[in-house]
């Protein structure tokens, strides 16, 4: 039986590589998003710990610490706002990449189904051809045997 060759195999291979590349992009983007979220949580945790520490101080020391904290609050707020903006941007990009990945996966799966159907048709055709060849051989053998019997009987 001759080997199965599908004419769209190269397209399927390209789409599989494209899906893999999109998966890698999505993974990297998700890692960056996790890093930014972790950074934001760390900033929030540090600020919380500073506020708890300020509350623990005695009133005379507390005023100085509160003043220092309030002076630098704007800087911390800007940094956290920047992180939130980065997180929102990364989440948007992550959704886009997820959509692109799903579209590429659906296209590839569609091609894989077409390939499976084509291979099934090919196998059935090959089996029919093999059956026809076997039938032809059987017919020829039968005809030859009959011809030989006819010559022996005469």
Q: What is the tens place of the pLDDT at every residue in 36-71?
A: 999 999 999 988 998 888 888 888 778 788 887 788
What was the pLDDT predicted at 148?
Answer: 78
What was the pLDDT predicted at 81?
Answer: 96
What was the pLDDT predicted at 153?
Answer: 63
What was the pLDDT predicted at 59?
Answer: 80
What was the pLDDT predicted at 134?
Answer: 94
Query: Distance between CA atoms of 17 and 135, rounded to whole angstroms?
Result: 45
What was the pLDDT predicted at 154?
Answer: 60
What was the pLDDT predicted at 62?
Answer: 80
Stretches in the chain below the pLDDT threshold 70: 1, 153-154
């Amino acid at each position: 039986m001759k080997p199965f060759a599908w004419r769209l195999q190269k397209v399927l291979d390209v789409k599989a590589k494209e899906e893999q590349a999109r998966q890698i992009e999505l993974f990297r983007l998700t890692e960056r998003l996790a890093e930014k979220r972790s950074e934001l949580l760390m900033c929030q945790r540090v600020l919380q710990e500073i506020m708890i520490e300020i509350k623990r101080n005695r009133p005379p020391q507390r005023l100085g610490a509160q003043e220092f904290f309030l002076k630098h609050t704007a800087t911390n707020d800007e940094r956290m706002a920047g992180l939130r903006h980065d997180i929102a941007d990364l989440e948007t990009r992550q959704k886009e990449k997820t959509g692109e990945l799903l579209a590429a996966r659906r296209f590839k799966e569609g091609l894989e189904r077409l390939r499976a159907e084509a291979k099934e048709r090919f196998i059935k055709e090959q089996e029919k051809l093999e059956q026809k060849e076997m039938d032809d051989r059987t017919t020829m053998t039968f005809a030859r045997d009959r011809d030989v019997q006819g010559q022996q009987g005469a």
